[in-house]
Structure 1
Amino acid sequence: MQSGISVSTELHSAFNSLVNDESSRFLLATITDESLVPLETIPSQSPSNFHADLALLAPHIKPNEALYILLRRSPSRFVAVTYVPQTAPVRQKMLFASTRLTLVRELGGEKFEESIFATDANELTAEGWARHEAHVAGDQPLTQEEQDLQGIKEAELQESGGTGARRVQTSGHLSMSVGEGAVEALKGLKEGGEENLVQLKIDVQTETIILVSSTAGATAASLSTSIANDEPRYTFYRHTSDGNPILFIYTCPGTSKVKERMVYAASRGFAVLLAEQEAGLPIAKRLEFSSPEDIGPDAIDEEFAPKEEKKTGFAKPKRPGRR
């Protein structure tokens, strides 16, 4: 989803100053009048202690207002944080989520080593950041429930051909981690193999696109039961109509968590570009449904039905009235 909002000249200048001035730690930004603008630059109080400097953010973090935070993790490492609290207005949530890729792309995606989506102020404290780093590094102790979930994810990845992930950057867009087997499965759709339905999901914690399944024999009638109905999905389907067009179907059930909705909505453009640029897969149609139950053969087939043009006969000019 693209918002049509762009980075202002003022924000470009403020970010360049952040990059060049090692005494600056944070640059706060927001959306005003359809433009990304700077709010304030916060200097470091502990240049050698990033976690201590996180306390400087507290006065600026509000429980009902979204905010962009561009921060210096170390002298040459930068991170883009999109803070969208759950109590923020709905329109603001969608606007900030759909613009986060634009923010990083226009400022220079190569400058950012990471892009983080936060919904709780605690995630932006020293303790919260330490938990994030531990999670990324894989050193965080897991509860039994988390271990069970991790086991399920690992099983899914093993079925898809491995557990590795790599960073992929589409032309002019922010990079994301992509799990092993995802691009290969998409290429299979292009090559016309037996599999004609590929489902991808996002590990929201690490923002990694993961291959869920690659199956054969899918039809427009079977999509409603083939696609998961308990969490969002990016689905690529090779239709059986003339030319075997490829459809991208984005589903997001109403029961999905707020953070899931934000991350999936903001990243669906990347999913399409991943298919087009990495797998060489031409996307004929992009469809969106709240629930897989809404996907029926009629909804798919009507996308390819010829449009009837209404023909209007030549209208003879009316005779001018008498004067």
Structure 2
Amino acid sequence: MSSLTSGILASDELTHQFTSLTSSTNVRGIIAGISNEQLVPIATIPRRGTFEEDIPQLESLLKENEPAYIILRRRDSGPAPFICLTYVPDHAHVRSKMLFASTRNTFTRELGTEYFSESIFATTKAEVTVEGFKKHDAHVAKAAPLTEEEIALKGVKEAEAEASRGTTARASHVSGSVAFPVSDAALDALRRLPNNPNGLVQLMLDIQRETIELADESTSTAHDLITAIPNTAPRFSFFNFSHKYPGVPENPIVFIYTCPPSSKIKERMLYASSRSSVLAIAERDAGLTIAKKLESGDPDISAQQLAEEFQPKTEQKQAFQRPKRPGRK
């Protein structure tokens, strides 16, 4: 079973800067970091010439002991013109290393994986120099050509990115190629959900018609989600989780994306690529406020896992007991 954990989200400032970057070639890239559990911009990289001419700017912008995410425009036209570098220097604190490495896929997914042709991991400044890129390109060029099936599987892996890790993510940009139109029935069901405690709305893709359709609208307890959500096909599910914490009634909306491993490659690709557009429709057009976004391979989500998402465990500290003096009983 895939673990269900919360991820770090992109700040509005970062998404706005990235939107500007995608619409203009006047800036070479953005350097970003993590602050207060958000992905935030740190600096912009101005465009002064070619890609090779702009790379030396990174020397003064990167630090020997601080990780960073680097977005660079590698080409001016064509699909996926950007590359993403995760820079995690050896001298950084261990916690920072782990945080940046584990959030690497979330970073590109938050901004839209369709914009990135490559995701590169670097641990030294030498790897993000002109020579470093030449070595990287030479290594990639020597890679054995992929078969048609391997290319398809590679596309699925990139599109699903964090899906296999079960992390939270937020839709920042929606590529037009995967923003399928939604049916009125699906939209109406989403709008009714806030007024339906324990309500469950499941959406599916009609791959032939390229539309988002209502698969099912029902009521389910958290215990019954494992059977209410099918294990034979992918689903975008929205659950009105009715519970009390601590003793106060709450009804947060939870988004659950499930994609069984047995799903066809085309299904996995389209569902993973459509995830952002479905979330955008739910929040923008249906007016939903999504409290948690969870992902799993099979729909084996338990009530305990949901409870842990909204009711974090607190450590109970034992009272300090003064040791007895020697000789006393």
Q: TM-score, normalised by structure 2?
A: 0.48
Name which structure has the greater RCO, CA cutoff 8 Å, separation 6+. Answer: 2
Q: TM-score, normalised by structure 1?
A: 0.48
